[in-house]
Amino acid sequence: MRALKGLEDAISVSVVDPYRDEDGWQFTPEKEGCTRDHVHDADYLRELYVRADPDVTCRVTVPVLWDTDEDTIVNNESKEIMRMLDTEFDEVADHTVDLYPDGYREEVDRIIDEIYEPINNGVYRAGFATEQEPYDEAVDELFSALTHWDDVLADQRYLAGDRLTEADIAMFTTLVRFDNVYHTHFMCNVQYIREFDNLWPYLRDIYQTPGVGETVNMDHITEHYYTTHPDVNPHRIIARGPALNFDAPHDRDELAGEPPAALVSSAKR
C-alpha cells in the first residue's frame, strides 16, 4: 500500500531479520534485504514496543506503524495500517490512487471480512493445528473459499469488480506466499495457487501492478516461515520450490477494469 500510494518519501520502512528467534524480531542491517531501525536504531523490535508503552505485555508483531512526531506506535494491525495508508495520507502521497473508493466501500469491507477467516487466517489455523479435526476444518474452509474466489475471478478482473481495491491487497499477501510456503510448511497442499485457472493469473496481475512486485522478497518469506516455527519445522530446512514466474503474461487485461491510471503513468515515467 505504501508503494501503491507513493508514500516512500513520507514514510520510511525498516525491515526486520526474517529469522525470528526467542528474542523476537531483530534488526540486522548487515543481512541481505534487511535494514536498520531508521527511527531509533533499536536492535530488537520489542524495544520500540516498550518505548511506546513501558508496561506493554502484548505480542511483539510486525507490521508496526510508528509516529515519529508522537514517538509512539500508531497501530500494529496490518488491515488497519493498510486502511490508514490508503485514506489518511493523501496530502503526502505521490500517487492519486484510492483503493477504498466511494461506491465500493461496503463491498470492500465485506470482502476483506469474508476472506480473513478462511483464507488469510485459514492458512495459520491449518499450519498451527495440533489435532486432525481443526486442521481438516481449516483446510476445507480454505479451499472452498479459494474455489469460490477462483469462480468469481473468471468474469471480473478484481475481487470487488472492475477496480483494484484494498480487498485485492488483503488477498494478495496470502496468495503470493501460498505455493512456496503455506502449501508445504502449513500443509495446505490440496492444490497450488498456480493450478487454479483464475487465481494464478489474478495473482500475477496484482504482482505486476506497478510498485507491487518490488515489495515482495521471496527469500525473506521462505526463510522466515521455514526457520521460525520449530514446532512445525524443527530442523529449519528451507523447502526450495516451486520456482514461479510472477512476471509471466496474465491476460487479465481482457476483462473490464485496469490498474489505477496514476500508477500506470508513473511506471512509464
Ligand X SMILES: N[C@@H](CCC(=O)N[C@@H](CS)C(=O)NCC(=O)O)C(=O)O
Q: Are 252 and 201 in contact (CB under 8 A)?
A: yes
77 binds ligand X (CB under 6 A): yes
84 binds ligand X (CB under 6 A): no
Q: Which is nearer to ligand X, 59 or 269 (CB)?
A: 59
Can you read off the three cell numbers belonging to residue 87? 485514506
- Using CB under 6 A, which of the segments 57-65, 86-94, 191-199, 254-262 binds ligand X? 57-65
The least CB distance from residue 231 to ligand X, in Å, is 13
Instruction: Tell me how long the chain is.
Output: 269
Q: Could you please report the per-residue DSSP string of 159-215?
A: TTBSS--HHHHHHHHHHHHIIIIIHHHT---S--GGGSTTHHHHHHHHHHSTTTGGG
Q: Which is nearer to ligand X, 8 or 21 (CB)?
A: 21
Q: Are 44 and 27 in contact (CB under 8 A)?
A: yes
- 13, 21, 41, 61: residue in contact with ligand X (rule CB under 6 A): 61
**26, β-bridge pairs:** 44
Question: What is the total count of residues that contact ligand X (CB under 6 A)?
Answer: 6
59 binds ligand X (CB under 6 A): yes
Q: Which is nearer to ligand X, 112 or 203 (CB)?
A: 112
Question: Is the preceding omega at residue 63 within 30 degrees of 0, hence cis?
Answer: yes
**DSSP, res 78:** H
Q: Could you please report the per-residue DSSP string of 20-46?
A: -BTTB-B--TTSTT----TTT--SBHH
The least CB distance from residue 160 to ligand X, in Å, is 21
113 binds ligand X (CB under 6 A): no
User: Among all chains, which residue has been given the C-alpha cell 495457487?
Assistant: 193
78 binds ligand X (CB under 6 A): yes
Q: Which is nearer to ligand X, 63 or 249 (CB)?
A: 63
- Using CB under 6 A, which of the segments 55-63, 86-94, 102-110, 135-143 binds ligand X? 55-63
- Using CB under 6 A, which of the segments 36-44, 56-64, 156-164, 197-205 binds ligand X? 56-64
Q: Which is nearer to ligand X, 78 or 222 (CB)?
A: 78
Number of C-beta neighbours around residue 141 at 10 A: 17
- 62, 74, 190, 218: residue in contact with ligand X (rule CB under 6 A): 62
| Binding footprint of ligand X on the chain (CB under 6 A) | 59, 61-63, 77-78
